[in-house]
Amino acid sequence: MGNRPEELRALLDSVAEQDGDPIEVVVVGNGSPVPDVPEGVRTVELPENLGIPGGRNVGIEAFGPGGQDVDILLFLDDDGLLARHDTAELCREAFAADPQLGIISFRIADPETGETQRRHVPRLRAADPMRSSRVTTFLGGANAVRTKVLGEVGGLPAEFFYAHEETDLAWRALDAGWLIDYRSDMVLFHPTTAPSRHAVYHRMVARNRVWLARRNLPAPLVPVYLGVWLLLTLARRPSRPALAAWFGGFKEGWTTPCGPRRPMRWHTVWRLTRLGRPPVI
């Protein structure tokens, strides 16, 4: 968004310091000018904010249609920082070792405390963030994606703007037979924050949760999935304004177009269940 030039420069420096072959970098200004960047870093400045998935899709296309000019794409938040010099090499090794591996989710850790927030571990059993595992979704601001996945199932859902766009892509990738790994040894330093800091958080989370279900789940699971999330939301006792925004978004999710519906196969439902996260929660 152009308002963190120092953090962006630190991130770009950490990418440049990676072991192995140099990494080609594109910085997308999502409705804002791009600050000064090191020589060799390409930039794209969009006239308006397309949202997180829309901006990332533009970044993908900067590497050819569907990113096809490269084998792997890294997506990194501009206020993040690669903690180690071998992260790119670890990515290359992981993808080379497993042809079915489609997406890698990095571990996000606070640079001061080393803490990994529970919400940054993309599985239900999140008590031990140091345990790597197969997972059913990934973190949007710290990940690596094989471009063959994007060529097969498409990019991120731009209409989501913010929230749940990663799970939408993850479910489509899993339905196509790809695997997703959470790797605790691939670390992005990122300050600890609360997702609710975004003014649109409660509305977008609710709306996109409905869209996610409508787009991807077999019809019998749609009401189950959304019913469970309704109960979980109420159990968390949000403030009255937050709850009003959530219900507004929930209604919007049912009354507005969600994009193409491509329900996953029941075999994929079983795969998700075996991985510890059945698509009802």
- For the stretch 36-51, pLDDT in tens is 999 999 999 999 999 9
DSSP string, 31-67: SSPPPP--TT-EEEE-SS--HHHHHHHHHHHTTSGGG
The first and second tokens of residue 243, run together, are: 């709850």
Tokens 């006792």 sit on residue: 237
CA–CA separation, 72 and 161 (whole Å): 23
pTM, whole model, 2 decimals?
0.96
Mean pLDDT, residues 142-168 taken together = 98
Averaged pLDDT for residues 212-230: 98
Say how far apart CA 102 and CA 115 lie, in whole Å.
27
Q: Please, are residues 45 and 111 in contact by the beta-carbon 8 Å criterion?
A: no
CA atoms 80, 83, 88, 90: torsion sign: negative
Place of tokens 């996610």: 212
Is the pLDDT at 246 greater than 60? The verdict is yes
pLDDT number for residue 100: 98
**228 φ/ψ sector (left φ>0, alpha ψ -120 to 50, else beta):** alpha
The whole-angstrom separation of Cα 277 and Cα 270 is 10
Q: Can you tell me the mean pLDDT for 195-221?
A: 90
CB 76 within 8 A of CB 15: yes
Asked whether residue 199 carries a pLDDT value surpassing 90, the answer given is no
pLDDT of residue 194: 74
Q: 């930039």: which residue's tokens? A: 43
Band (113; pLDDT cuts 50, 70, 90): very high
Amino acid 197: pLDDT: 54
Q: What is the CA radius of gyration of the chain?
A: 18
Whether the pLDDT of residue 256 is over 90: the answer is yes
For the chain, domain boundaries: 5-189, 199-275
SS3 189: strand
Does residue 30 surpass a pLDDT of 90? yes
**Of 25, 43, 32, 42, whose CA–CA distance to 1 is shortest?**
32
Helix axes 240-255, 201-216, angle to 10 degrees: 30
The answer to whether 123 and 136 have CB atoms below 8 angstroms apart is: yes
Residue 193's pLDDT is: 78
Query: 231: closest CA among 162, 281, 165, 279?
Result: 281
Picking from 182, 180, 7, the residue whose alpha carbon sits closest to that of residue 79 is 7
- SS3 of 138-151: the string is CCCCEEEEEHHHHH
Longest dimension (CA), the chain: 53
Q: Which fold has domain 5-189?
A: Spore Coat Polysaccharide Biosynthesis Protein SpsA; Chain A (3.90.550)
Q: Has residue 196 got a pLDDT over 70?
A: no
Check pLDDT > 70 for residue 191: yes
**Cβ burial 76-98 (10 Å sphere, 16+ → b, else e):** bbbbbbbbbeebbebbbebbeee
**Averaged pLDDT of the chain:** 96
